[in-house]
Amino acid sequence: MTAHDLKLSRRETLRGMAGLVIGVALPLPALAQSGAARAFQPGSGSAAFVPNAFVRVGADDTVTVLIKHIEFGQGPFTGLSTLVAEEMDADWSKVRAEHAPANAELYKNFAFGAQGTGGSTAMANSYEQMRKAGAAARAMLVQAAAQAWGVPASEITVEQGVLRHASGRQGRFGEFAEAASRLPVPADPPLKDPSRFRLIGRDRAVSRLDSAAKSNGTAQFTIDIREPEMLTVLVARPPRFGAKVASFDDKATRAVPGVVDVKPISSGVAVYANGFWPARKGREALRVTWDEAGAERRSSDQLIAEYRALARRPGVVASAHGDVEAALARAERVIEAEFVFPYLAHAPMEPLDGFLRWDGATAVARLGSQLQTGDHMTIAKILGLTPDKVELQTMLAGGSFGRRAQQTMHFAAELAGSAKAIGPGRPVKLVWTREDDIRGGYYRSLFVHRFRGGLRDGKVTAWASTSVGQSILGGSPFEAMIKNGIDPTSVEGANELPYAIADFRCDLHTTQVGVPVLWWRSVGHTHTGYAVECFVDELLQATGQDPVAGRLAMMSNAPRAAGVLRAVAQLAGWSGPGPVNGRARGVAVVESFDSFIAEIAEVSAERGGEPRVHKVWCAVDCGVPVNPDVIRAQMEGGIGFGLGHALFGEIALDEGRPVPANFDTYRSLRIHEMPEVEVTILPSTEKPTGVGEPGVPPIGPAVANAMARLGLGRPRQLPIVRGTA
Amino acid sequence: MANYDINVNGRIHSVDVEPDTPLLWVLRDAIGLTGTKFGCGIAQCGACTVFLDGRPLRSCSLPVASIGTAQVTTIEGLSGREAEAVQRAWVTRDVPQCGYCQSGQVMSAVALLRKTPKPDDRDIDLAMNGNICRCATYVRIRAAIKDAAVTLGG
């Protein structure tokens, strides 16, 4: 590509963006109600200067950053804006963030090749892109000022959104926004040397952009969308996965005041009403006969028994070195352990929901979309429109933990299907209730891991693991990621250890079960992290080694993992696992999504043998720590999320039917169960990596390893506290 | 359908809904006050917390027919020194992550500080353990409540 082509494509980009920026393509009510526009008002003078697809500068000095990743708590609004503001030398109080529209070309995630958020990639794949976007904007503003003042651009300095020249002349970004917009866009603007960073890596240099709107009720989520003529839709879905509607009787439903219509759709029977309450009452009154011929009918206990039997046979090898069977045969002692993990629901606070307006020729969809490209294409296809006739606006979402990114795009399909069934001209808001959410599948897979460890001369000499569970990627658009029969999300964390063990094998049985499964905050590491870190701890205990020193002795090839382990030991003042005064300490270290986290949990035994977690120390190495306080918040939240599920989380199936239905039976961590958390962030010059997920995996095993020192044993089946919901 | 005149944030709203409609859906769907959130529908998560004559209650499980002349306060109508202190502390500490439960958390925290100006950890546990935060922002919620208490006491 020549410089000319590049400039041209930039210009086209600009032209494409301008339409979106001024809201021509987006009908006004939608614009007014979009989370971005309402909660993060860009100011009256916006869009005077649009150097690229990510930055808009208003005549009122406002710098609006378009965020290609969904904000559902992990902080991309703040984090990606920090990158732009850093390179622009912008005034943070003038910085606003909004979701970018769905546009795979402009806003693809470089890790996916499509627009979407997941795998803790937001910062990693945006770091250079957003800095360059900011640097280009800065260069153009400087050039505009240089021309206006008749001075060389190189003599102009920028600080906090103010351009200055030694002659005494100065001006704000807004004053040069229009002039800058007429200049060519630099193709490859130089980036700051990290030594000159004022925001990146500086603790509390910026505050979150969304805190105020999320503390006073003004932040707009999908569930808050209201439009004239809009109908609320609830769908009756089958009680068992794989069942279908055989027939239904909607007489009682139609008699409910407020119910407007009832339609069969591919996922069940849709009830359309003026508001949530009549829709819910109408759905309750519906009588549906289900065709369960193809339904999954196994109970969790049955699946676990089948998986345990499979785990005794070698599976497809995911990775191996040395000769593990020979090494086990030579070992002085072989320790075996089997770990069982239940299905888990994500249960984000805002259940799945989406809005769609369709007039037969065009459509506007607004939802907390985590895979915008997939959702966009799915909606267009179902409505029989080309994608350019469908606008997709990403809304703030009340959590996800993976739930809003489905490999099947089932939610977008249900949204489009419910709009199509009632016909053009009736905007719909599809809402899942909490019961729909907890019983709706797309769970973290049920898994069994069987481990065998060989000990000789006081050392771990052999390690074999067999994992059994469903594949997330199989049969999905992501199937190409499956190599040699191994879904990497089933074995990640088990197929490569930070520990140097001469003879090693990790193999896998992939099971076929009719329960839809999905990535769940930290994916495979949710179960492999627990199993590996409990098992290594057990082996170290069996050889009389200290949990920290014993791990470090095997980590010669894992310097960054060893680094966080040393750091957390120092932070906690580690002097062995205890117990001391009834409190024991457990440790775990897990690398996930290229970030390294070690945690130490201090635990006592409550009456009845339940663990009480008092404090957690956490050390993080996520490369350049862009927003230290956001990283800290993600560690605190990840620890709470991981702890709640390790202690209480289980979706048991009874003859195929999920047993829990709501937070009364799917127990969530509450404030009195939340430990104190202390976080240390390691300085680094490595490229930044994610923090949304990696805080989760170490907490479960850290607690379990402390329990072992309290004489409670390392729980071999999760949740730790069973049957207490 | 039946007509109800309910007092929300100091204004009388006339709504035409079924008597069993929970206050939550009257606020959200009939009146258009969407700051109060739906999380579970069975008074387990606290996302729908509002004040009824100053007392925090779960609006998802409160039929509109039972409201009578009681004064309803939602996050949109929240005011007073405790509210200001709590909301300022929430922003200073950057408490919210996804933010969806935070209206309910703020309501419960304000109710706590109005009753107990200097809460200890146990008071905070008791007042706040009806509010679930799936992002687990609990560490910061606790710290922000203590900050607000200091502000109010100072």
The Cα of A274 is separated from the nearest Cα of chain B by a number of Å equal to 8
Decide if B22 touches A, using CB distance below 8 A.
yes
**Type of residue at A473:** L
Q: In the structure encoding, which two tokens stand for residue A131, read together? A: 């800095």
- What is the DSSP secondary-structure string of A639-686? HHHHHHHHHH--B-EETTEE---STTTS----GGGPPEEEEEE----S
Q: What is the mean pLDDT of residues A258-271?
A: 98
| A257: confidence class by pLDDT, cuts 50, 70, 90 | very high
The CATH fold of domain A300-344+442-709: Aldehyde Oxidoreductase; domain 4 (3.30.365)
Q: Is the pLDDT score of A41 beyond 80?
A: no
pLDDT in tens, A702-713: 999 999 999 999
Decide if B83 touches A, using CB distance below 8 A.
no
Whole-number percent of chain A with pLDDT over 70: 93
Q: In the structure encoding, which two tokens stand for residue A189, read together? A: 């603007």
pLDDT in tens, A129-186: 999 999 999 999 999 999 999 999 999 999 999 999 999 999 999 999 999 999 999 9
pLDDT in tens, B135-150: 999 999 999 999 999 9
- With CA atoms as reference, report the closest residue to A656 among A236, A301, A241: A241
- With CA atoms as reference, report the closest residue to A363 among A347, A385, A342, A395: A385
- Chain A: residue whose CA lies nearest to B76: A217
- What does chain A come to in residues? 725
Chain A hits for B97, Cβ within 8 Å: 73-75, 399, 633, 637
Burial class (CB in 10 A: 0-12, 13-18, 19+), A247: exposed
pLDDT in tens, A358-400: 999 999 999 999 999 999 999 999 999 999 999 999 999 999 9
Q: Look at residue A406 and give its three-state secondary structure.
A: coil
pLDDT at A172: 97
Q: How remote is the C-alpha of A27 from its chain's centroid?
A: 30
Q: Is the pLDDT score of A23 beyond 90?
A: no
Chain A hits for B136, Cβ within 8 Å: 636-641, 643-644, 669, 674
Q: Is the pLDDT score of A543 beyond 90?
A: yes
Task: For chain A, give every domain's residue range.
Answer: 3-196, 222-293+352-431, 300-344+442-709
The Cα of A640 is separated from the nearest Cα of chain B by a number of Å equal to 5
Q: Is the pLDDT score of A507 beyond 70?
A: yes
- Chain B: residue whose CA lies nearest to A71: B98
- What is the DSSP secondary-structure string of A63-115? EEEEESS--SSS-HHHHHHHHHHHHHT--GGGEEEEEPPS-HHHH-BTTTTBS
Q: Is the pLDDT score of A4 beyond 60?
A: no
Given the candidates 1.20.120.1750, 3.40.50.720, 3.10.20.740, 3.30.365.10, the CATH classification of the domain at A3-196 is 3.30.365.10
Give A702's contacts (C-beta < 8 A, 6+ positions apart): A533, A586, A587, A588, A599, A600, A601, A616
Whole-number percent of chain A with pLDDT over 90: 90
* Calpha distance A90→A1 (Å, rounded): 32
Q: What is the mean pLDDT of residues A94-119?
A: 93
Nearest 5 degrees, angle CA A409-CA A224-CA A220?
A: 90
Q: Is the pLDDT score of A38 beyond 80?
A: no
SS (H, E, C) A241-261: CCCEEEEEECHHHHCCCCEEE
Which residue in the set B95, B103, B134 is minimally distant from A217, CB to CB?
B103
Q: Please give the DSSP secondary-structure letter assigned to residue A188.
A: S
Domain with CATH 3.10.20.30 in chain B: 2-77
Q: How far apart are the first and last CA of chain A?
A: 61
pLDDT in tens, A548-570: 999 999 999 999 999 999 999 99
pLDDT at A33: 32
Q: Look at residue A444 and give its three-state secondary structure.
A: strand
pLDDT at A230: 98
Which residue in the set A207, A226, A663 is minimally distant from B132, CB to CB?
A663
- Chain B: residue whose CA lies nearest to A257: B1
**Residue of A222, A281, A349, A404 to mutate, testing the B interface (most B Cβ within 10 Å of its Cβ):** A349
CATH architecture of B81-153: Orthogonal Bundle (1.10)
A396 and B21 in contact by Cβ < 8 A?
Answer: no
ipTM score above 0.95 = yes
Burial class (CB in 10 A: 0-12, 13-18, 19+), A256: buried
Tell me if A716 sits within 8 A of A528, measured CB to CB.
no
Burial A595-633 (b: 16+ CB within 10 A, else e): bbbbbbbbbbbeeeeebebeebbbbbbbbbbbbbbbbbb
pLDDT at A21: 25
Chain B hits for A226, Cβ within 8 Å: 29, 32, 34
| B154: confidence class by pLDDT, cuts 50, 70, 90 | low
Burial A162-189 (b: 16+ CB within 10 A, else e): bbebeeeeebbbbbbbebbbebebbeeb
Q: Look at residue A598 and give its three-state secondary structure.
A: strand
| C-alpha dihedral, A630 to A632 to A633 to A636, nearest 10° | 160
Q: Is the pLDDT score of A187 beyond 90?
A: no
Chain A hits for B17, Cβ within 8 Å: 277
Whole-number percent of chain B with pLDDT over 90: 99
Pairing of strands A49-52, A55-57: antiparallel
pLDDT at A723: 61
Q: In the structure encoding, which two tokens stand for residue A276, read together? A: 């949530």
Neighbours of A105 (CB within 10 A): 11
- With CA atoms as reference, report the closest residue to A471 among A525, A533, A515: A515
* Calpha distance A88→A198 (Å, rounded): 11
Q: How remote is the C-alpha of A662 from its chain's centroid?
A: 22
* Neighbouring-strand partners of residue B2: B17
Q: What is the mean pLDDT of residues A55-71?
A: 95
- What is the DSSP secondary-structure string of A477-545? TTGGG-BTTB-HHHHTTTSS-SS--SEEEEEEEEE--SS-B---TTTTHHHHHHHHHHHHHHHHHHTT-
Q: Is the pLDDT score of B82 beyond 60?
A: yes
Pairing of strands A353-358, A657-658: unpaired
The CATH fold of domain B2-77: Ubiquitin-like (UB roll) (3.10.20)
Q: Is the pLDDT score of A458 beyond 60?
A: yes
Tell me phi and psi for residue B133, to 5 degrees. Answer: -125, 110
Q: What is the mean pLDDT of residues A664-671?
A: 98
Q: Is the pLDDT score of A29 beyond 90?
A: no
pLDDT in tens, A220-249: 999 999 999 999 999 999 999 999 999 999
SS (H, E, C) B74-138: CHHHCCCHHHHHHHHHHHHCCCCCCCCCHHHHHHHHHHHHHHCCCCCHHHHHHHHCCCCCCCCCH
**Residue of B97, B131, B138, B145 to mutate, testing the A interface (most A Cβ within 10 Å of its Cβ):** B97
Question: In A, residues 659-678, which contact B (CB 8 Å cutoff)?
Answer: 662-664, 668-672, 674, 676-677
The Cα of A436 is separated from the nearest Cα of chain B by a number of Å equal to 10
pLDDT at A22: 19
A669 and B136 in contact by Cβ < 8 A?
Answer: yes
Pairing of strands A55-57, A63-67: antiparallel
Question: What is the rounded average pLDDT for all residues in chain A?
Answer: 92
- With CA atoms as reference, report the closest residue to A319 among A518, A467, A129, A162: A467
Tell me if B124 sits within 8 A of B145, measured CB to CB.
yes
A73 and B96 in contact by Cβ < 8 A?
Answer: yes
Which residue in the set B17, B25, B44 is minimally distant from A664, CB to CB?
B44
The sheet with strand A95-99 has its strands ordered as A49-52, A55-57, A63-67, A95-99
**Type of residue at A83:** L
| C-alpha dihedral, A420 to A423 to A425 to A430, nearest 10° | -50
| A112: confidence class by pLDDT, cuts 50, 70, 90 | confident
- Which residue has tokens 């019983």? A439
Q: Is the pLDDT score of A350 beyond 60?
A: yes
- C-alpha torsion sign, points A549, A551, A554, A557: negative
Question: Is A3-196's fold the same as A222-293+352-431's?
Answer: yes
The Cα of A679 is separated from the nearest Cα of chain B by a number of Å equal to 12
- With CA atoms as reference, report the closest residue to A49 among A128, A131, A132, A136: A136
What is the CATH class of A222-293+352-431? Answer: alpha beta
Question: In A, residues 249-268, which contact B (CB 8 Å cutoff)?
Answer: 257-258
* Calpha distance A598→A557 (Å, rounded): 16
Q: Is the pLDDT score of A24 beyond 70?
A: no
- Which residue has tokens 């809460």? B119
* Calpha distance A174→A507 (Å, rounded): 60
Chain B hits for A275, Cβ within 8 Å: 25, 29-30
- With CA atoms as reference, report the closest residue to A678 among A580, A549, A569: A569
Decide if B46 touches A, using CB distance below 8 A.
no
Domain with CATH 1.10.150.120 in chain B: 81-153
* Calpha distance A305→A303 (Å, rounded): 5
Q: How far apart are the first and last CA of chain B?
A: 51
Neighbours of A8 (CB within 10 A): 12
Q: Is the pLDDT score of A7 beyond 60?
A: no
pLDDT at A34: 32
* Calpha distance A243→A237 (Å, rounded): 9
* Neighbouring-strand partners of residue A645: none
* Neighbouring-strand partners of residue A264: A269
| A478: confidence class by pLDDT, cuts 50, 70, 90 | confident
pLDDT in tens, A400-427: 999 999 999 999 999 999 999 999 999 9
